[in-house]
Amino acid sequence: MYVTGHTDKKHRYQPQVVRKYIRVIDVMMETSNVQGLMRYNSLNYEKLKGDKAGLSSVRVNDQYRIEFEERTKEGETIATICNITDLSNHYK
């Protein structure tokens, strides 16, 4: 989705969600480490708990977030993007 700018038939997202997803990924790639994501309040960077312990997330919008794993390489924390997750049922 990041490279092509659109989704496959199984995962359909609105064009504005895809554009925002690409912007968030660009910010993540420009940031030298995961701690740099904390500067962007709109991303709502957080470490997840419970059954998703070990993952972190940033918000794409109110409904979607990007979940990723953090790992340390040569003393620097690196993010490995796992997936984009629908949050519509998260608060139910």
DSSP category for residue 18: H
User: In this predicted structure, what is the pLDDT of residue 17?
Assistant: 83
Which pLDDT score, from 0 to 100, does residue 92 have?
41
Distance between CA 21 and CA 71 in Å, rounded? Answer: 22
What pTM value is reported for the model? Answer: 0.72
> What is the signed CA dihedral for 91, 18, 23, 35, rounded to 10 degrees?
30
Q: Mind listing the domains of the chain with CATH numbers?
A: 15-86 (3.30.2310.20)
Q: Which tens digits make up the pLDDT trace of 21-74?
A: 889 989 988 887 788 888 999 999 999 899 888 888 899 888 888 888 877 777
How high is the pLDDT of residue 44?
A: 93
Q: What percentage of the chain has pLDDT greater than the value 90?
A: 13
